[in-house]
Amino acid sequence: MTDSTKQYAVQKSDAEWKAQLSPAEFHVLRKAGTERPFVGEYTDTKTVGVYKCRACDAELFRSETKFDSHCGWPSFYAPLAEDRVEYIEDSTLGMKRVEVRCANCGSHLGHVFEGEGYGTPTDQRYCINSISLTLAPA
Ligand SMILES: [Zn+2]
């Protein structure tokens, strides 16, 4: 499913991203890193608003779909719209997971899991790094 020739609406070189992002943001967004659990700034945030991609400002998630998963990362049960994100099969760490990326710039956001029994409308958990997001309060 990964297509290295894919063009995004926002397309930048590593050097351009490094100039724009902090080293920690670059590591997660552009190198598919993972923030440590329970340290992200939005883990327990209840503020009403829209979460945007920290790399390109595309609107990705609404606070209304954020729920308490107690997993240590901000968790949403659905994206703002299906076309805002893209899904990539990820088999690193010996696990079959589905990576979630920003569809506008290709930056790594986190992973999506389903069937965990959280009782949300979709039974999905978009487990997203705080550092991949910027909250715009409503
Ligand atoms: Zn983006």
27, 81, 89, 25: which is closest to 56 by C-alpha?
Answer: 25
Q: What is the pLDDT of residue 94?
A: 87
Q: Where are the domains of the chain?
A: 14-137
What pLDDT shows up at residue 1? 46
Ligand 1 centroid – CA 102 distance (Å) = 5
For every one of its 138 residues, what pLDDT tens digit does the chain have, with 9 covering 90 and above? 455 567 899 999 999 999 999 999 999 999 999 999 999 999 999 999 999 999 999 999 999 999 999 999 999 999 999 999 999 999 988 889 999 999 999 999 999 999 999 999 999 999 999 999 999 999
Centre of ligand 1 from the C-alpha of residue 30, in Å: 10
Q: Known catalytic residues?
A: 127
φ, ψ at 17 (rounded to 5°) = -65, -40
How far, in Å, from the CA of 44 to the mean position of ligand 1?
22
Ion ligand 1 residues within 5 Å by Cβ: 53, 55-56, 58, 102, 104-105, 107
CATH architecture of 14-137: Beta Complex (2.170)
Query: Distance of alpha carbon 22 from its chain centroid, rounded?
Result: 17
Q: Exposed (0-12), middle (13-18) or buried (19+): which is 54, by Cβ within 10 Å?
A: buried
Res 62: pLDDT: 98
Contacts of 130 (CB under 8 A, 6+ apart): 35, 40, 41, 42, 43, 73, 74
Q: Name, in order, each residue with C-beta under 8 angstroms of 80's C-beta and a sequence gap of 6 or more.
A: 50, 59, 60, 61, 62
pLDDT at position 3: 55
Asked whether the whole model's pTM tops 0.95, one would answer: no
